[in-house]
Amino acid sequence: MIFGPYCAPTSIAVQIMESTAEEKDVLPQESAANLTPVFVYGTLCAVPLLAWALMGDASQTDAVKKLIRPARVEGFARYGIKSCDYPAAVKCDGSEIRGYLVTFTNSSQRKKLDDFEGEIYSPTHLTAQVLNQNGEPSSQCVDAEIYLWNGSLENLTMEPWDLEGFIEERLEDWLDLFDGMELVG
């Protein structure tokens, strides 16, 4: 389903529309120490959008910056998806993707990311390498998950996806689309 010209994940709208206030209160919370970090590489690298997804408020960027670290993963490539604003990650020897390693304060935040990504992406275990202040690989590697593209490769542009282009041209439209909505986790 397409929301305007930006092809937003359908699971977002479904989760928002189907959720109730009662669901928010009954979800079990688990220790953040038990939650596997997630490597994000696409639209969620736009910190205001990540803040909206995790906290329900795009202005909570300072809080979200405490949960993320620049990182990279090797053996994967990030491509655009035809007629969509967001990318797909696929296995690709000799390639790397740079993004953020997201740690969670509660299980609700992880569920919100799962719902945001939807069924077209599959959480897959990998090792992410944390980047230092200069953007160079550090010696710190972290067991994490990545949302890999689960759709047809024919839907990919096979062109690298551009985060800066998304931020400059589409981010405000996405934030306007989700204004007043909140993912339930």
Residue range 41-95, pLDDT digits in tens: 999 999 999 999 999 999 999 999 999 999 999 999 999 999 999 999 999 999 9
φ, ψ of residue 130 to 5 degrees: the values are: -70, 140
**pTM beyond cutoff 0.85:** no
Q: Which residue has the tokens 């490769």?
A: 153
Amino acid letter, 49 = L
- The CA distance from 37 to 27, in Å, is 20
15-19, 69-73, 79-83, 129-133: segment of lowest average pLDDT: 15-19
Domain spanning 4-15+30-178, CATH class:
alpha beta
- The CA distance from 28 to 126, in Å, is 26
Burial status of residue 77 (CB atoms within 10 A of its CB: 0-12, 13-18, 19 or more)? buried
Domain ranges of the chain: 4-15+30-178
